[in-house]
Every structure is written in structure tokens, then in C-alpha cells.
């Protein structure tokens, strides 16, 4: 993968992937983190690639302009945890502590972003494992493990070997949302598709799933606006 830059105000970095199976150039802007990605045929010339990017520059800038600004995580800012805003504050604690309105982090923390991210990952591992256990028991199935990642293309997945994966950012959403995603992935342990039978299983586990699925479509991108790049 190579990085090309569209000069302007501001400069735009474009990730370029050469794909043997690509027949034409394809440009995409992630609505989650603003990454600009270009897929090109294996033998595409640099001059042709830059010409294509220049033709699409106005469109790329318009899309980026519509995206929500990235919000840096730090002391004094309020981030959503389990659907409620919590202000990050220093306190005399040994490890992060979640209260009704605050997330307290140790005063000795030099990297607040890392401390907060580690806390959220731990919370995600705990609540999503519990939710997975609950729904697996209801369907009388088993899974191999639960993994937590910072994924951009999906909120969860289920492998053919029964491994469940979830985005840790789900714990920033209301409880019903991560419960729905857990039910969705556990249902894949029986139906590895999105057929009518699959959605019947999801409905059995989460009768309210249409509203929860809609919430993710409407608000999911906001969970990715939080910048933990210092972690």
C-alpha cells in the first residue's frame, strides 16, 4: 500500500491499494474515520492515478466536509459510556473509576487516552462476554471465544470456528445497542448468513432489534469520532 497526497487546504492523504483483480479505479471515503482509500489495477500508472484523484478531488473534499469533527480524548472532555456522557477527571484513584457523571483516572496518568481506552476495552470484554453467554444459552449453542477489536467496517463478526469478535466502542453506546450486536453475532452460530431464518433468531433474542439496528445506522459513526491516537 502506498500513500499519495492531494495538496490543498488541508492536504488529503490517500491510501492506494494495487489489486490484481481490479479492472478500474475505485475511490472510497470512510464515514467512520475519514480515511480516503483508492483501489487501482495492478499495473496502473502513477500519472493515471493522480489524474483520477484530481478529477475526484472536489467530491472527496465535499464528503470530508460533511463528516463530524474528530474529538480528542483528554481530561475535561465528556465521552459517552453506556450511552451517558461522563466527564474525564483526574482523581486519587489507583485505576479508572466510573461514576454516574464522571470517569475518574489516576492523577499519575501520563497518557490519559491510553488509560481511558484500556478501561473501555476491559468493560467491553466483560459486558459483551456476559451478553454472548446469555444469548448462546438461550439458543443452546456454544462459541469458542470473545475477542475485542477496534474495527471500522463492522461492529461484530462470527467466524466459522465459533469465534466472536466485537468492537470495543460499542460500550460507548446504550446497553440495548451492544446487547443487539451480541444477539446478532450469536445467531450467526446457527445461521451463517442474513436469511429470513437468521433474522427470526435475532428477533427471538431481541424483539426490539429493528430500533437498535436503526440506532447504529444513524448514530454509530459518532462512536468513531473519538480520537484515541495518543493511546
| 160 within some domain | yes
Regarding whether 119 and 218 lie in a shared domain, the answer is yes
DSSP 179: H
Asked if pLDDT for residue 222 goes beyond 80, the answer is: yes
Give the confidence band of 66 by pLDDT, cuts at 50, 70, 90. Answer: confident
The per-residue pLDDT for range 79-104, each reduced to its tens digit, is 999 999 999 999 999 999 999 999 99
Asked if pLDDT for residue 107 goes beyond 90, the answer is: no
Regarding whether 115 and 59 lie in a shared domain, the answer is no
Regarding whether 115 and 62 lie in a shared domain, the answer is no
| 153 within some domain | yes
Regarding whether 143 and 220 lie in a shared domain, the answer is yes
List b or e across 23-43, with b for residues whose CB sees 16 or more CB atoms inside 10 angstroms: eebebebbbbebebebbbbee
Regarding whether 130 and 47 lie in a shared domain, the answer is no
Q: Which of 129, 30, 118 is nearest to 73 (CA)?
A: 118
The per-residue pLDDT for range 187-221, each reduced to its tens digit, is 999 999 999 999 999 999 999 999 999 999 999 98
| 23 within some domain | yes
| 124 within some domain | yes
Beta-sheet pairing, 26-29 with 12-19:
unpaired
Residue 100 gets the label, from left (phi > 0), alpha (psi -120 to 50) or beta, of alpha
| 90 within some domain | no
Residues 6+ apart with CB under 8 A from 220: 32, 155, 173
Regarding whether 61 and 121 lie in a shared domain, the answer is no
| 79 within some domain | no
Asked if pLDDT for residue 230 goes beyond 70, the answer is: no
Bridge partner list, 15: 3, 37
Give the confidence band of 231 by pLDDT, cuts at 50, 70, 90. Answer: low
| 104 within some domain | no
| 78 within some domain | no
Mean pLDDT of 62-86: 90
Asked if pLDDT for residue 143 goes beyond 90, the answer is: yes
Residues above pLDDT 90, as percent of the chain: 76
Q: What is the CATH number of the domain that holds 120?
A: 3.30.2010.10
Q: What is the pTM of this model?
A: 0.78
Regarding whether 211 and 121 lie in a shared domain, the answer is yes
Give the confidence band of 110 by pLDDT, cuts at 50, 70, 90. Answer: confident
- Element spanning 202, H or E: helix 196-205
- Give residue 95's pLDDT: 92
Give the confidence band of 75 by pLDDT, cuts at 50, 70, 90. Answer: very high
Q: Interhelix angle for 209-223 vs 175-187, to 10°?
A: 110
- Count of structural domains, the chain: 2
Range of the domain at 36: 2-66
Regarding whether 221 and 166 lie in a shared domain, the answer is yes
Task: Please give the Cα distance from 6 to 55 (Å, whole number).
Answer: 11
The answer to whether residues 150 and 103 touch, using CB atoms and an 8 Å cutoff, is no
Domain end call among 50, 66, 82: 66
- Give the mean pLDDT of the chain: 93
More confident residue, 6 or 138: 138
Domain end call among 47, 66, 85: 66
Regarding whether 123 and 16 lie in a shared domain, the answer is no
Amino acid at each position: 500500500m502506498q500513500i499519495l497526497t492531494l495538496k490543498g487546504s488541508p492536504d488529503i492523504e490517500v491510501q492506494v491499494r494495487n489489486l490484481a483483480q481490479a479492472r478500474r479505479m475505485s475511490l472510497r471515503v470512510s464515514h467512520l474515520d475519514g480515511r480516503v482509500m483508492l483501489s487501482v489495477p495492478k499495473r496502473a500508472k502513477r500519472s493515471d492515478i493522480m489524474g483520477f484523484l484530481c478529477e475526484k478531488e472536489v467530491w472527496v473534499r465535499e464528503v470530508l466536509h460533511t463528516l463530524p469533527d474528530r474529538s480528542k480524548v483528554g481530561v475535561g472532555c465528556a465521552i459517552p459510556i453506556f450511552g451517558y456522557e461522563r466527564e474525564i477527571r483526574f482523581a486519587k484513584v489507583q485505576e479508572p473509576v466510573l461514576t454516574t457523571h464522571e470517569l475518574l483516572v489516576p492523577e499519575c496518568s501520563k497518557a490519559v487516552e491510553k488509560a481511558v481506552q484500556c478501561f473501555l476495552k476491559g468493560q467491553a470484554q466483560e459486558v459483551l462476554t456476559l451478553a454472548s453467554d446469555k444469548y448462546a444459552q438461550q439458543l443452546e449453542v456454544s462459541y469458542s471465544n470473545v475477542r475485542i477489536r477496534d474495527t471500522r467496517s463492522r461492529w461484530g463478526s462470527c467466524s466459522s470456528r465459533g469465534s466472536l469478535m466485537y468492537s470495543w466502542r460499542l460500550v460507548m453506546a446504550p446497553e440495548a445497542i451492544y446487547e443487539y450486536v451480541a444477539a446478532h453475532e450469536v445467531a450467526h452460530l446457527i445461521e451463517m448468513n442474513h436469511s429470513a431464518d437468521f433474522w427470526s433468531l435475532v428477533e427471538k433474542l431481541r424483539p426490539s432489534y429493528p430500533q437498535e439496528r436503526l440506532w447504529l445506522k444513524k448514530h454509530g459513526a459518532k462512536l468513531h469520532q473519538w480520537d484515541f491516537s495518543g493511546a
